[in-house]
């Protein structure tokens, strides 16, 4: 039987351990981590969305005593969704002594930054971009599954959800790298799944009049349309398709799932719209960790940002995971704020290289290409609630990974 | 970050001078972004795919682009004023679309793997080109170019081959833009066609106009000021583009001939 003195001793020990952790965290210099986000300009919504996830992760790490007694200090730089700025800011972070850089978020910026991360020997983690083949081991890794797995997996579910679809048109932005890469992935996946591609329709980021493309799509008389382009471009295209009363299902790759603006603006043009993703704000979808994150994220982002409501949770949890992953590696490698920056960078690089699987909010499998894999699913736009929901119930979803060699 | 700013300031000085050289003969080019792209891709292909060292690759890229620029100038310079602006803008669009559809250089995906450009390369070139322009500004050739710029018909009547000199200037400007592009590509490590859109050409002209086009120092000052200004006002966040634009508009209203409007006098003009 425990005496009252035992309880008091235990309580004192706990209080002491808590205060000791606090004192240690205060006495050691912070661990500096850099982030690159578009905080101003047309893509500022993306920055606000992902920055909230990063801040939430920093708060969680520091509330738990930091990393081996050092607090995390996050320095966010604004690249305005501009690849040249991303490169400059990446160099700035490296020269400022951060142990790793999270971002930049766009595929174009990531493609520009990944080689520089290797040249400057500073780890960089991307958790948003989609274009396949642009991560560069060992220093530049991406947690987000690229389109070479998302499109085949998602299109398989699209096929299952809409078995009447046999003939498709592929449309996309041929000028933008992620859009163009998505078009090719659609073509490969369609051939593999036995879908007949009856036509290809291309437009460009600069396009303002989508009516000729919409007419071409309609005249192809296909069962469905597969689209690959960034949110603002896709929005113009699907609005034109709605004007021309195109009433077939439209599948757009995850370029429209990410971000907050598209789903809030698509309106009735989204009534037959699908996308690809791995998380929604729905409950009981088989990932309790994400449900918990979703609740906390909405409360936090609702208070700290001016994002239009409802906030699209999309892949924000992956940004949260990226920082948690770095913190976990640093803890395991006994790195703190006193460790030399180059040593900390090498430790993170080695930790990432050794990582095969990661289980945080998301379960991520790391591929040899330096990209993460998370099973992609088909999501449908619910226009009236301005949100994405799973198109199929959990039991009917396809959970067979498609992992190209 | 300071090294990056210095590097890009140097690149922009070269680009501003590439416009200045063309302006010397009274022409205006909105194609220098395209020439920059041609130099960037040509030098990138030569170093990445053919293994050439950086400096010979830059020299070959500049020579090729200069010849292409001169060849394009021959028909383009038959037009003047707003028509010439439209033709040169068209060249920029054409080059961008061509690069987007050329699989050999990566298409929209871009070209990567370049490296090796340093501040020494850029400022060595700035010093060389600056010295060349300084000698030019004190030479008889400058007087001939002044004459062609002020009145091409009178200059021709005096026996000057105005079209030839304009083509030479256009080709030299294209070659200089190509050198800047080659260095840019080997500093950035990765380039795509969208890096060289029409906006780049507009900015390059703006550097020259902002600083003043009557002497070689004006474009240099304009390029440095407009490269560093956005960084100095980075703290203004989303207000930055508005403040940047307002500064340009106000300064061009107050000083329509640019920050340094004086004309460089040639040696002959200085004699009593």
| Percent of chain A's residues with pLDDT above 70 | 94
Q: What is the pLDDT of residue B81?
A: 86
Together in a domain, A257 and A380: yes
Q: Lowest-pLDDT range, A167-176, B124-133, B231-240?
A: B231-240
Together in a domain, A165 and A247: yes
Together in a domain, A170 and A112: no
Assigned domain for A401 exists: no
Q: How confident is the model at residue A10 (pLDDT cuts 50, 70, 90)?
A: very low
Domain that holds residue A110: 4-144+289-305+313-361
Assigned domain for A284 exists: no
Together in a domain, A35 and A140: yes
Q: What is the pLDDT of residue A2?
A: 46
Q: Does B194 contact A119 at a Cβ distance shorter than 8 Å?
A: no
Assigned domain for A28 exists: yes
Min Cα distance B45 → chain A (Å) is 17
Nearest residue on chain A to B96, judged by CA atoms?
Answer: A175
Separation between Cα atoms, residue A65 and residue A19, nearest integer Å: 10
Together in a domain, A107 and A153: no
Q: What is the pLDDT of residue A254?
A: 96
Together in a domain, A298 and A264: no
Query: Does residue B270 carry a pLDDT above 90?
Result: no
Together in a domain, A273 and A299: no
Separation between Cα atoms, residue A247 and residue A269, nearest integer Å: 10
- In this prediction, does ipTM exceed 0.90? no
Q: How confident is the model at residue B271 (pLDDT cuts 50, 70, 90)?
A: low
Q: How confident is the model at residue B252 (pLDDT cuts 50, 70, 90)?
A: confident
DSSP string, A7-60: HHHHHHHHHHHHHHHHHHHHHSPPEEEEEEE--SSTTHHHHHHHHHHHHHHHHH
Q: How confident is the model at residue B267 (pLDDT cuts 50, 70, 90)?
A: low
Nearest residue on chain A to B241, judged by CA atoms?
Answer: A41
**Tens digits of per-residue pLDDT, A351-396?**
999 999 999 999 999 999 999 999 999 999 999 999 999 999 999 9
Assigned domain for A369 exists: no
Q: How confident is the model at residue A9 (pLDDT cuts 50, 70, 90)?
A: low
**Tens digits of per-residue pLDDT, A257-299?**
999 999 999 999 999 999 999 999 999 888 999 999 999 999 9
Q: What is the pLDDT of residue A8?
A: 44
Q: What is the pLDDT of residue A195?
A: 97
Assigned domain for A382 exists: yes
3-state secondary structure chain B: CHHHHHHHHHHHHHHHHHHHHHHHCCCCCCCHHHHHHHHHHHHHHHHHCCCCCHHHHHHHHHHHHHHHHHHHHHHHCCCCHHHHHHHHHHHHHHHHHHHHCCHHHCHHHCEECCCCCCHHHHHHHHHHHHHHHHHHHCCHHHHHHHHHHHCHHHHHHCCCCHHHHHHHHHHHHHHHHHHHHHHHHHHHCEECHHHHCHHHHHHHHHHHHHHCCCCCHHHHHHHHHHHHHHHHCHHHHHHHHHHHHHHHHHHHHHCCCCCCCCCCCCHHHHCC
Q: What is the pLDDT of residue B236?
A: 72
The residues spanned by each domain of chain B are 2-197
Query: Does residue B239 carry a pLDDT above 80?
Result: no
State the distance between the two ends of chain B, measured CA to CA, in whole angstroms.
Answer: 49
Assigned domain for A405 exists: no
Query: Does residue A25 carry a pLDDT above 60?
Result: no
Together in a domain, A136 and A153: no
- Residues of chain A with Cβ-Cβ distance to B238 below 8 Å are 40-41, 44
B189 to chain A, any CB pair closer than 8 A? The answer is yes
CB atoms within 10 A of CB A246: 17
Q: Does A40 contact B237 at a Cβ distance shorter than 8 Å?
A: yes
Q: What is the pLDDT of residue A1?
A: 41
Handedness of CA B100, B105, B111, B116 (dihedral sign): negative
Q: What total of structural domains would you count in chain A? A: 2
Together in a domain, A140 and A154: no
Query: Does residue A19 carry a pLDDT above 70?
Result: no
Together in a domain, A175 and A216: yes
* CATH code of the domain covering residue A58: 3.40.50.2300
Min Cα distance A17 → chain B (Å) is 41
Mean pLDDT (chain A, rounded): 91
Q: Does B107 contact A116 at a Cβ distance shorter than 8 Å?
A: no
Together in a domain, A293 and A344: yes
B53 to chain A, any CB pair closer than 8 A? The answer is no
Together in a domain, A252 and A294: no
Nearest residue on chain B to A131, judged by CA atoms?
Answer: B109
Instruction: Please state the rounded mean pLDDT for residues B237-261.
Output: 83
Q: Are A182 and A233 in contact (CB under 8 A)?
A: no
Q: Does A115 contact B189 at a Cβ distance shorter than 8 Å?
A: yes
Q: How confident is the model at residue A11 (pLDDT cuts 50, 70, 90)?
A: very low
**Tens digits of per-residue pLDDT, B90-134?**
999 999 999 988 989 988 888 988 999 999 999 999 999 999 999
Query: Does residue A16 carry a pLDDT above 70?
Result: no
Task: Between B264 and A157, name the one with better pLDDT.
Answer: A157
Q: Does B110 contact A88 at a Cβ distance shorter than 8 Å?
A: no
Query: Does residue A214 carry a pLDDT above 90?
Result: yes
């Amino acid at each position: 039987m425990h005496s009252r003195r035992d309880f008091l001793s235990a309580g004192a020990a706990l209080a002491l351990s808590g205060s000791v952790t606090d004192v240690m965290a205060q006495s050691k210099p912070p661990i500096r981590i850099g982030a690159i986000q578009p905080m101003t300009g047309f893509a500022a919504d993306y920055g606000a969305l992902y920055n909230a996830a990063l801040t939430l992760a920093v708060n969680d790490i520091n509330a738990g005593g930091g990393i081996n007694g050092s607090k995390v200090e996050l320095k966010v730089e604004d690249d305005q969704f501009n690849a040249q700025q991303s490169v400059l800011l990446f160099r700035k972070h490296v020269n400022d002594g951060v142990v790793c850089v999270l971002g930049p978020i766009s595929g174009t910026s990531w493609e520009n930054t990944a080689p520089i991360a290797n040249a400057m020997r500073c780890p960089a983690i991307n958790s948003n971009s989609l274009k396949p083949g642009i991560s560069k081991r060992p220093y530049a890794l991406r947690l987000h599954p690229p389109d070479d797995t998302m499109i085949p997996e998602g299109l398989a579910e699209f096929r299952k959800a809409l078995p009447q679809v046999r003939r498709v048109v592929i449309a996309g932005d041929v000028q933008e790298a992620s859009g163009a890469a998505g078009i090719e992935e659609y073509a490969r996946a369609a051939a593999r799944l036995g879908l007949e591609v009856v036509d290809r329709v291309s437009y460009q980021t600069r396009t303002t009049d989508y009516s000729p493309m919409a007419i071409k799509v309609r005249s192809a008389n296909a069962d469905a349309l597969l689209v690959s382009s960034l949110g603002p471009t896709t929005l113009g295209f699907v609005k034109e398709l709605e004007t021309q009363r195109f009433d077939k299902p439209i599948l757009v790759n995850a370029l429209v799932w990410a971000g907050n603006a598209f789903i809030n603006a698509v309106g009735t043009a989204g009534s037959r719209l699908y996308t690809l993703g791995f998380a929604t704000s729905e409950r009981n979808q088989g990932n309790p960790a994400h449900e918990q994150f979703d609740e906390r994220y909405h409360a936090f982002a609702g208070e700290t940002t001016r994002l239009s409501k409802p906030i699209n949770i999309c892949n924000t949890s992956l940004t949260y995971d990226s920082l948690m992953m770095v913190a976990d590696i640093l803890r395991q490698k006994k790195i703190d704020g006193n460790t030399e920056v180059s040593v900390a960078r090498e430790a993170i690089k080695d930790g990432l290289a050794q990582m095969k699987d990661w289980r945080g909010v998301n379960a991520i499998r790391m591929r040899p290409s330096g990209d993460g894999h998370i099973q992609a699913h088909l999501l449908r736009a619910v226009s009236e609630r301005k949100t994405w929901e799973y198109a199929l119930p959990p039991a009917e979803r396809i959970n067979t990974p498609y992992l190209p060699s | 970050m300071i090294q990056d700013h210095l590097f890009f300031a140097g690149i922009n000085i070269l680009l501003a001078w590439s416009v200045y050289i063309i302006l010397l003969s009274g022409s205006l080019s909105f194609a220098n972004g395209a020439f920059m792209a041609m130099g960037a891709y040509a030098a990138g292909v030569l170093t990445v795919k053919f293994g050439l060292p950086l400096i010979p690759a830059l020299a070959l890229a500049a020579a090729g682009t200069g010849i292409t620029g001169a060849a394009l100038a021959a028909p383009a310079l038959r037009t003047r004023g707003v028509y010439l602006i439209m033709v040169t803008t068209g060249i920029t669009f054409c080059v961008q679309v061509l690069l987007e559809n050329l699989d050999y250089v990566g298409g929209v995906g871009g070209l990567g793997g370049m490296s090796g450009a340093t501040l020494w390369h850029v400022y060595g070139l700035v010093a060389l080109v600056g010295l060349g322009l300084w000698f030019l500004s004190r030479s008889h050739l400058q007087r001939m170019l002044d004459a062609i710029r002020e009145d091409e018909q009178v200059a021709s009547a005096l026996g000057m081959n105005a079209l030839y000199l304009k083509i030479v200037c256009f080709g030299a400007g294209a070659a200089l833009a190509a050198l800047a592009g080659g260095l840019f590509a080997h500093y950035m490590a990765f380039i795509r066609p969208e890096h060289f859109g029409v906006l780049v050409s507009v900015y390059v002209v703006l550097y020259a106009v902002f600083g003043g086009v009557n002497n070689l120092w004006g474009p240099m000052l304009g390029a440095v000021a407009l490269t560093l200004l956005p960084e100095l006002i980075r703290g203004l966040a989303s207000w930055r583009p508005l403040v940047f634009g307002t500064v340009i508009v106000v300064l061009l209203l107050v000083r329509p001939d640019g920050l340094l409007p004086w004309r460089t006098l040639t040696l002959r003009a200085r004699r009593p």
